[in-house]
Amino acid sequence: MIKKASLLTACSVTAFSAWAQDTSPDTLVVTANRFEQPRSTVLAPTTVVTRQDIDRWQSTSVNDVLRRLPGVDITQNGGSGQLSSIFIRGTNASHVLVLIDGVRLNLAGVSGSADLSQFPIALVQRVEYIRGPRSAVYGSDAIGGVVNIITTRDEPGTEISAGWGSNSYQNYDVSTQQQLGDKTRVTLLGDYAHTHGYDVVAYGNTGTQAQTDNDGFLSKTLYGALEHNFTDAWSGFVRGYGYDNRTNYDAYYSPGSPLLDTRKLYSQSWDAGLRYNGELIKSQLITSYSHSKDYNYDPHYGRYDSSATLDEMKQYTVQWANNVTVGHGNIGAGVDWQKQTTTPGTGYVEDGYDQRNTGIYLTGLQQVGDFTLKAQPAATITHSLVVMEPGKRVPVGNSSKAIVLSLLMARRTRHLILGNCMVSTEIRI
């Protein structure tokens, strides 16, 4: 695995402001209940990582950031871009829900787990990490915890950076956010990262001939966002980003057969939303579309050869969330709709399939004296109940795991497959 010290930049043209660890209880988070609220009012254990933290750590990948979070373990098959898995508090990799700006990461539905080695670190402006079950708010997979990667930039200005390191590592990044009038702002970003890497399996994993080559990684990223405030209460946004990655890895070698040792991933995501932020009522409607094409192929034959494999998925999402302040608490309710579509050949299944999910949720938070009571029933029969007093937290929650799309697509499966329900209990004093 590439050591962090080996990727320290030798040259940088970016000036960063002084860094201070984010420990303020007034830091706003959105992941807990989908609306901004001070971290001190979030009952679940929450950690927030800012862009200043990432720059100070000189992290070169999302996995580098997540390794620093409590209760998180990362496994990876090598250096940059190599296949990785996330484990939170001892749960399986498929029991971690990864969100990008509040929307499920595309392609996680095929394998059942998220591989963040491919997600560009340049897009990450903030990470909100909640430990413990959150299925009542987000549905399936939120058993060990929720990782929400936020790409929205907070501060205006322009930044240009360049970095170099060992294994021919190089990174070039330019980003800008400009105000257009009093009510509109535009954000643009471009990033290029490349490393020759090293030989992941020096002696091969075939038992015969070693594949003695460097396993490198190349990533190109573009991002754009437009935000507009119509009135003091109404605002809207349109956002899009895409990345083109190439990863080399060691694969099984059979003499006379194509050697599939190269991965090519194209991914694009678009979302738009409308928000209302009143004194007592908050509401937001967000639609999202993402499309990913994941090739594995022999570069001597190309990714369109019959020996190559292609996993392609399109994901459509609609979220409507509402929050009403009532007394010393609030009530939240919303509806989520999601459609995932695969092309023939995805997951080694001949036919293409699509899956649709609709869920509703209801949350309630009320302060009674020195206690804060919270309940979260959901349509999927998941729930959590939390009772908190000053200095003490006793969260108890149930969370569910639905069938992943790869299992639903398996036509030859004749057995009854059901999701499971896991209970996570935590006492924190």
Question: Among 22-26, 138-142, 193-197, where is mean pLDDT lowest?
Answer: 22-26
pLDDT at 5 over 50: no
Check which CATH number belongs to the domain holding 206 and give it.
Answer: 2.40.170.20
Q: Looking at residue 23, what is its pLDDT?
A: 46
Range of the domain at 12: 4-425
Give mean pLDDT, residues 48-64: 92
Instruction: Write down the mean pLDDT value for the chain.
Output: 79
Give mean pLDDT, residues 357-386: 63
Specify the amino acid at residue 126.
R
pLDDT digit string, tens, across residues 197-227: 888 875 655 555 667 788 899 999 999 999 9
Residue 23 structure tokens: 């420990």
pLDDT at 388 over 70: no
CA 175 to chain centroid: 21
Residue 83's nearest CA partner among 214, 209, 268, 250 is 250
Burial (CB count <10 Å: 0-12, 13-18, 19+), residue 361: buried
pLDDT digit string, tens, across residues 178-198: 999 999 999 999 999 999 988
Q: Looking at residue 254, what is its pLDDT?
A: 74
Domain tally, the chain: 1
Strand 96-100 to strand 145-150: parallel, antiparallel, or no bridges (unpaired)? parallel
Q: Is 311 within 8 Å of 107 (Cβ atoms)? A: yes
**Residue 368 or 343, more confident:** 343
Beta bridge partners of 358: 337
Q: Which of 120-129, 206-215, 339-348, 382-391 has the highest mean pLDDT?
A: 120-129
CB atoms within 10 A of CB 218: 18
pLDDT digit string, tens, across residues 290-315: 999 999 999 999 999 999 999 999 99
Residue in the structure block whose two tokens are 């988070």? 29
Give mean pLDDT, residues 399-410: 53
pLDDT at 70 over 80: yes
Give mean pLDDT, residues 234-258: 90
pLDDT at 413 over 90: no
